[in-house]
Amino acid sequence: MKIALVGIGKIAQDQHVPAIAASPDWELAATVSRAGSVEGVPAYTSLADMLAAHPDIGTVSLCLPPVPRFFYARELIAAGRHLMLEKPPGATLSECHALEAMAAEAGVSLFATWHSREAAGVAPARDWLSGREIRRVTVTWKEDVRRWHPGQEWVFEPGGLGVFDPGINALSILTEILAQPVHLSGAELLFPQNRQTPIAADLRFAHPGGAEVSAAFDWRQTGPQTWEIAVETASGALRLTEGGGKLSVNGEDIAPEGEGEYPRLYARMAELVRAGASNVDLAPLRHVADAFLLGRRETVAPFDF
Provide the residue range defining the domain that includes 222.
Answer: 119-257+289-300
Specify if 216 maps to a domain.
Answer: yes
Q: What is the mean pLDDT of the chain?
A: 96
**Final residue belonging to a domain, choices 112, 146, 179:** 112
Rounded average pLDDT over 178-200? 98
Report the C-alpha gap between 29 and 20 in whole angstroms.
10
- 301 Cβ contact partners less than 8 Å away, ≥ 6 residues apart: 192, 193
Looking at the structure, tell me whether residues 95 and 123 fall in a common domain: no
Q: 10, 87, 142, 246: which is the annotated catalytic residue?
A: 87
Reported as a single tens digit per residue, the pLDDT across 146-178 is: 999 999 999 999 999 999 999 999 999 999 999
Looking at the structure, tell me whether residues 142 and 250 fall in a common domain: yes
Looking at the structure, tell me whether residues 12 and 139 fall in a common domain: no
Looking at the structure, tell me whether residues 206 and 96 fall in a common domain: no
- Mark whether 87 is an active-site residue: yes
Specify if 138 maps to a domain.
Answer: yes
pLDDT at 271: 98
**Final residue belonging to a domain, choices 88, 112, 136:** 112
Looking at the structure, tell me whether residues 108 and 169 fall in a common domain: no
Q: Which domain CATH number covers 220?
A: 3.30.360.10
Give the CA-trace dihedral at 75, 17, 263, 100, to 10 degrees. -10
pLDDT at 8: 95
Specify if 282 maps to a domain.
Answer: no
Does residue 65 carry a pLDDT above 90? no
Specify if 277 maps to a domain.
Answer: no
Looking at the structure, tell me whether residues 159 and 294 fall in a common domain: yes
Looking at the structure, tell me whether residues 223 and 245 fall in a common domain: yes
Number of domains in the chain: 2
Specify if 281 maps to a domain.
Answer: no
Q: Which domain CATH number covers 37?
A: 3.40.50.720
Does residue 127 carry a pLDDT above 90? yes
Looking at the structure, tell me whether residues 32 and 162 fall in a common domain: no
Rounded average pLDDT over 282-286? 98
Kindly indicate the confidence band of residue 256, based on its pLDDT and cuts at 50, 70 and 90: confident
For residue 24, is the peptide bond before it cis, meaning its omega torsion is within 30 degrees of 0?
A: no
pLDDT at 10: 87
Report the C-alpha gap between 173 and 284 in whole angstroms.
9
Specify if 168 maps to a domain.
Answer: yes
Looking at the structure, tell me whether residues 162 and 144 fall in a common domain: yes
Does residue 135 carry a pLDDT above 90? yes
Looking at the structure, tell me whether residues 50 and 194 fall in a common domain: no
Looking at the structure, tell me whether residues 244 and 204 fall in a common domain: yes
Of 157, 164, 121, give the one whose Cα is nearest residue 141. 164
Looking at the structure, tell me whether residues 55 and 82 fall in a common domain: yes
Specify if 283 maps to a domain.
Answer: no
